[in-house]
Chains A and B, each alone.
Chain A
Amino acid sequence: MEMESFSSLTVTERDQILVEQQVFNIFKTFYNIPPSSQSFMLELQRENHVEYLTNGLKQLGPSFCVLDANRPWICYWILHSIALMDEFVDPELEDNTIDFLSRCQDPNGGYGGGPGQMPHLATTMLQSIHLEKLYSFIRQMKYASGGFRMHDAGEIDVRACYTAISVASLLNILDDELVQNVGNYILSCQTYEGGISGEPGSEAHGGYTFCGLATMILINEVKRLDLSSLIDWVVFRQGVEGGFQGRTNKLVDGCYSFWQGGIFALLKRLNSTRGEKSIPLGDGEDSGPDSSETTASSDATGKGLIEDLSQGGSHIEKGDQHDTSSRVNSKRHAKVKPLFNSLALQQYILLCSQDLNGGLRDKPGKSRDHYHTCYCLSGLSVCQRSWLEDDDSPPLPCAVLGPYSNLLEPIHPLYNVVLDRYREAHEFFTGS
Chain B
Amino acid sequence: MESSEDDGGEPLSRLAEWRDVTPLPQDDGPNPVAPIAYKEEFRETMDYFRAIYKADERSPRALRLTRRAIHLNPGNYTVWHFRRLVLEALNSDLDEELDFIQRIANSNSKNYQLWHHRRWVVERLGTNARAKELHLIKSILSLDAKNYHAWSHRQWVLQALGGWEDELDYCQQLLEEDIFNNSAWNQRYFVVTRSPFLGGLTAMRASEVRYTVEAILANPNNECPWRYLRGLYKDDIELLVNNHEISSVCLKVINTKSDYIFALKMLLDLVCYGFQPCQEFRDAVVALWNSDSHPLDPDLATAICGILEHVDSMRASYWIWRKNKLPVAA
Interfacial residues, chain A to chain B (CB-CB below 8 A): 10-13, 56-62, 64-71, 74-75, 78, 92-93, 95-97, 99-100, 103, 112-118, 120, 150-155, 191-194, 198-199, 201-205, 231, 233, 235-236, 238-240, 242, 247-250, 281, 283-285, 287, 291, 294-296, 298-301, 304-305, 308, 337-341, 344
> Among the listed B26, B74, B145, B194, which residue makes an inter-chain contact with A201, where contact means beta carbons less than 8 Å apart?
B194
A305 (CB) vs chain B CBs: closest residue: B325
Which of B46, B223, B231, B318 has most A Cβ within 10 Å?
B318
| In the complex, chain A residues whose CB is within 8 Å of the CB of B324 | 283-284, 287, 291, 294-295
| New A-B pairs, 6, CB < 8 Å, besides A239-B314, A249-B182, A338-B317 | A11-B178, A68-B75, A69-B77, A75-B34, A92-B31, A96-B31
Q: Find out whether the CB atom of A78 lies under 8 angstroms from the CB atom of B148.
A: no
CB-CB nearest in chain A for B233: A192
- A252, chain B: closest CB distance, angstroms: 12
A99 contacts B31, C-beta separation under 8 Å: yes
B231 to chain A, nearest CB (A): 3
Known: A103-B29, A117-B78. A283 touches B223 (CB 8 A): no
Taken together as a complex, chains A and B put the C-alpha atoms of A180 and B322 apart, in Å, by 35
- The reply to whether A78 and B116 contact each other, CB–CB distance below 8 Å, is no
Q: Check if A115 sits within 8 Å of B326, measured CB to CB.
A: no
B58 within 8 A of A: no
Contact of A66 among B53, B74, B77 (CB under 8 A): B74
Q: Does B224 contact A (CB under 8 A)?
A: yes
Q: Which one, A60, A69, A117, A301, contacts B34 given CB within 8 A? A: A60
B231 near A192 (CB under 8 angstroms)? yes
Contact A61–B37 (Cβ < 8 Å): yes
How far, in whole Å, are A113 and B189 apart by their CA atoms in the complex? Answer: 37
Most buried by B among A75, A203, A294, A338: A203
> Judging by beta carbons under 8 Å apart, are B180 and A249 in contact?
yes
Residues of B within 8 A of A300 (CB): 272, 322, 325-327
Closest B residue, CB atoms, query A308? B325
Instruction: State in angstroms the CA–CA spacing of A199 and B228 once bound together.
Output: 19
Task: List B146-169 residues whose CB lies under 8 Å from chain A.
Answer: 146, 148, 151-152, 155-156, 159
Question: What are the 7 tightest A-B residue pairs by CB atom distance, in nearest-first order?
Answer: A192-B231, A12-B180, A10-B178, A248-B182, A96-B31, A283-B320, A203-B186
Q: With an 8 A cutoff between CB atoms, is B310 at the interface?
A: no
Q: How far is the CB of B254 from chain A (nearest CB, A)?
A: 19
Closest chain-B Cβ to A206's Cβ sits at a distance in Å of 11
Query: Which residue on chain B has the smallest CB distance to residue A61?
Result: B37
A154 engages B36 (CB within 8 Å): no
Q: B234 near A: Cβ within 8 Å?
A: yes
For this complex, 27 residue pairs linking A to B, each with C-beta atoms less than 8 Å apart, are A10-B180, A12-B180, A57-B33, A60-B35, A62-B38, A62-B39, A62-B42, A68-B46, A69-B78, A96-B31, A99-B31, A100-B31, A103-B27, A113-B78, A117-B78, A150-B112, A155-B116, A192-B189, A192-B234, A199-B156, A201-B155, A202-B151, A248-B182, A248-B224, A298-B327, A299-B327, A300-B325
| Most interface-central of B38, B116, B231 (chain A CB within 10 A) | B116
When A65-B73, A198-B148, A202-B152 are in contact, do A10 and B321 touch as well, CB less than 8 Å? Answer: no
Q: Give bound CA distance, A71 to B35, whole Å.
A: 8
Is residue B323 contacting chain A, with contact meaning CB distance below 8 A? Answer: yes
CA distance A220 to B325 in the complex (A): 24
For the complex, is B72 an interface residue (Cβ under 8 Å from A)?
yes
**Which A residues lie within 8 Å of B223 (CB)?**
236, 248-249
Is B282 engaged at the interface, CB distance under 8 Å to the other chain? no
Q: Are B73 and A68 in contact (CB under 8 A)?
A: yes
Q: Is the CB of A153 within 8 A of B84?
A: yes
Of chain A, the residue at the smallest CB distance from B145 is A11
Chain B interface residues toward A at CB < 8 A: 24, 26-29, 31-39, 42, 46, 50, 53-54, 72-78, 81, 84, 112, 115-116, 119-120, 145-146, 148, 151-152, 155-156, 159, 177-183, 186, 189-190, 194, 222-224, 227-228, 230-231, 234, 237, 272-273, 314-318, 320-328
Given A202-B148, A283-B317, do A250 and B325 touch, yes or no (CB 8 Å)?
Answer: no
Identify the closest chain B residue to A192 (Cβ): B231
Q: Assess whether A151 is in contact with B36, with CB atoms less than 8 Å apart.
A: no
Whether the pair B321, A281 counts as a contact (CB closer than 8 A) is yes
User: Does B321 lie within 8 Å of A62, measured CB to CB?
Assistant: no
Q: How far is the CA of A69 from the CA of B36 in the complex (A)?
A: 11
**Interchain nearest-CB distance for A64 vs B (Å):** 4
Nearest A residue to B72 by beta-carbon distance? Answer: A65
Known: A66-B73, A100-B28, A118-B81. A295 touches B326 (CB 8 A): yes
Dominant secondary structure at the B interface: helix
Shortest CB-to-CB span from B76 to chain A, Å, is 4
CB-based nearest B residue for A251? B146
Q: Quick check: B227 and A113 within 8 Å, CB to CB?
A: no
Quick check: A250 and B178 within 8 Å, CB to CB?
Answer: no
Question: How many Å from the CB of A155 to the closest CB on chain B?
Answer: 4
A57 and B180 contact, Cβ closer than 8 Å, known pairs A66-B73, A116-B26? no
Expressed in whole angstroms, the Cα–Cα distance for A97 and B91 within the complex equals 42
Asked whether, in the complex, the Cβ of A60 is within 8 Å of the Cβ of B36, the reply is yes
Q: Smallest distance from the beta carbon of B232 to chain A beta carbons, Å?
A: 8
**CB pair A75 B325 closer than 8 Å:** no
Q: Which residues of B contact A201 (CB under 8 A)?
A: 155, 159, 190, 194
Residues of chain A with a CB closer than 8 A to B24's CB: 116
Q: Is the CB of A295 within 8 A of B32?
A: no
Please indicate the chain A residues that have their CB under 8 angstroms from the CB of B318 in the complex: 231, 235, 339-340
Measured CA separation A151–B77 after assembly (Å) = 9
Give bound CA distance, A247 to B148, whole Å.
10
In angstroms, how far is the closest chain A Cβ from the Cβ of B113? Answer: 8
With A62-B37, A155-B116: A113-B180 Cβ-Cβ less than 8 Å? no
Q: Are A117 and B76 in contact (CB under 8 A)?
A: yes
The listed residue (A64, A191, A296) touching B186 by CB distance below 8 A is A191
CA A152 to CA B115, docked complex, whole Å: 16
**A250-B182 in contact (CB<8A):** yes
- Alpha-carbon gap, A402 to B325, bound state (A): 33
Select which of B74, B116, B183, B224 is within 8 A of A154 by beta carbon: B116
Q: Bound state CA distance, A338 and B321, in angstroms? A: 10
For the complex, give the distance between the alpha carbons of A58 and B77 in Å. 25
Query: Which residues in A have their C-beta under 8 angstroms from that of B151?
Result: 202-203
Chain B residues positioned under 8 Å from A205 (CB to CB): 148
B84 / chain A contacts, CB cutoff of 8 Å: 153
A283 proximity list for chain B (CB < 8 A): 317, 320-321, 324
CA A233 – CA B224 in complex, angstroms?
11
A201 to B195, CA, bound (A): 12
Residues from chain B with a CB closer than 8 A to the CB of A298 are 325, 327
Say how far B130's CB is from chain A's closest CB, in angstroms: 18
Report yes or no: B224 in contact with A112, Cβ–Cβ below 8 A.
Answer: no
| Residue in A70, A97, A100, A240 with the greatest tally of chain B CB atoms within 10 Å | A100
Q: Select which of A64, A95, A113, A235 is within 8 A of B76 by beta carbon.
A: A113
| Chain B residues closer than 8 Å to A198, beta-carbon distance | 148, 152
